[in-house]
Amino acid sequence: MGKAKIRKKVEGYEKQLKKHIKKFKEAESRGDAGSMNYMAREMSDYLKRMTKLKSRLLPKNKKA
């Protein structure tokens, strides 16, 4: 996968995070614990994927 594709995926994950944060806050105001747990799990998964993809964007000598 090229670096441009990886950057595009990272941007998509950032957009999804913003949407999930908004939905998490809505669920919090409703008091819906199940929805809050789901959104939190999804956000943590997105963050994990983003960190893996961001490491691929680094130059070869800085990759961990």
**Confidence band, pLDDT 50/70/90 cuts, at residue 33:** very high
Task: Tell me the average pLDDT across 7-13.
Answer: 95
**Dist. CA 34–CA 54, nearest whole Å:** 30
pLDDT for position 64: 60
Cβ atoms 58, 32 nearer than 8 A: no
**What secondary structure, in 3-state letters, does 1-57 show?**
CCHHHHHHHHHHHHHHHHHHHHHHHHHHHHCCHHHHHHHHHHHHHHHHHHHHHHHHH
- Asked if residue 63 has pLDDT above 90, the reply is no
Q: Is 59 left (phi over 0), alpha (psi -120 to 50) or beta?
A: beta
pLDDT for position 8: 95
Task: Tell me the average pLDDT across 32-52.
Answer: 94
